[in-house]
Amino acid sequence: MRKPVMAGNWKMHKTAAETAAFFEKFAPLVAGADHAEIVICPPFVNLPAAVAAGGGIGIGAQDVFWLKEGAYTGEVSAPMLAAIGCRWVIIGHSERRQYFNETDETVLKKTVAALDAGLKPIVCVGERLEEREAGATETVLEAQFNAGIAELTGEQFARLVIAYEPVWAIGTGKTATPEIAQAAHHFLRREIRARFGPEAAGACRILYGGSVKPDNIKGLMAQPDIDGALVGGASLDAATFAAIVHYP
């Protein structure tokens, strides 16, 4: 049995005070919800506020640099994140690929750095609209998997979570249908099996992301290869995200 992961990606939203206010409301709403691992990923500056207010809720960053320290103005390293009680990190989100030159190569370097520091990476893959329309979804997923994930050792792979996020479904209100998402998740699990073996494929959590809302989470989670969600907009409101966490 794969334990679901319900992760909120706040992107560039909320101040430290708003972060504390969120947890004050959210923590009681999800107290006792142990059917899933719950993760909230605020902007870097609000990680300490989230760790302080979060109780048992997992806290994650939205990015990380691949070196431990040095002359890299503006960057934050994995050991720095681990040292403040951050336990997760999103890597390779499509917005980082689109606006900040993230590549499969940097995704791999960041994933290894995060694992070395004991963080749990949520590695994002997903096709753009024109790629889906050109019938290239599986080719794109395979390329991202091969260049960004398949290079890991089996021991490293066992400690990460994958998020399938079709770029055309992010922030657009266009959720992939449960069937479309399932097909992509199934394809990814096949890739995992081919590279890391059946046990790793059976154990790996693959999250869906892209316009997840309280009214579509149940259908998504009913799919055999969907093991949780990476939620953007709908994770900003405590009651809404709690409703998603409580999908069963």
In the complex, the residues that contact ligand PGA under the rule CB under 6 A are 9, 165, 170-171, 209-212, 230-234
Q: Measured between alpha carbons, how far is 3 from 230 in angstroms, rounded to an integer?
A: 14
- What are the backbone angles phi and psi of residue 67, rounded to the nearest 5°? -105, 160
> CA 82, 100, 78: angle at the middle one, nearest 5?
10
- Rank residues 10 and 157 by Cβ distance to ligand PGA and give the closer one: 10
Minimal distance, residue 197 CB to ligand PGA, in Å = 29
Please give the residue whose beta carbon sits closest to ligand PGA in the complex: 232
- Rank residues 144 and 196 by Cβ distance to ligand PGA and give the closer one: 144
Contacts of 219 (CB under 8 A, 6+ apart): 178
CB atoms within 10 A of CB 114: 29
Minimal distance, residue 92 CB to ligand PGA, in Å = 11
Annotated catalytic residue within 93, 95, 127, 185: 93
Q: Measured between alpha carbons, how far is 63 from 99 in angstroms, rounded to an integer?
A: 13
Q: Are 116 and 65 in contact (CB under 8 A)?
A: no
Minimal distance, residue 234 CB to ligand PGA, in Å = 6
Annotated catalytic residue within 37, 95, 127, 165: 165
Minimal distance, residue 72 CB to ligand PGA, in Å = 25
Tokens 């959720």, located at residue: 175
DSSP state at residue 202: H
- Rank residues 111 and 201 by Cβ distance to ligand PGA and give the closer one: 111
DSSP string, 124-159: EE---HHHHHTT-HHHHHHHHHHHHTTTS-HHHHTT
- Rank residues 196 and 216 by Cβ distance to ligand PGA and give the closer one: 216
- Rank residues 206 and 231 by Cβ distance to ligand PGA and give the closer one: 231
- Quick check: is 165 catalytic? yes
The catalytic site residues sit at: 93, 165
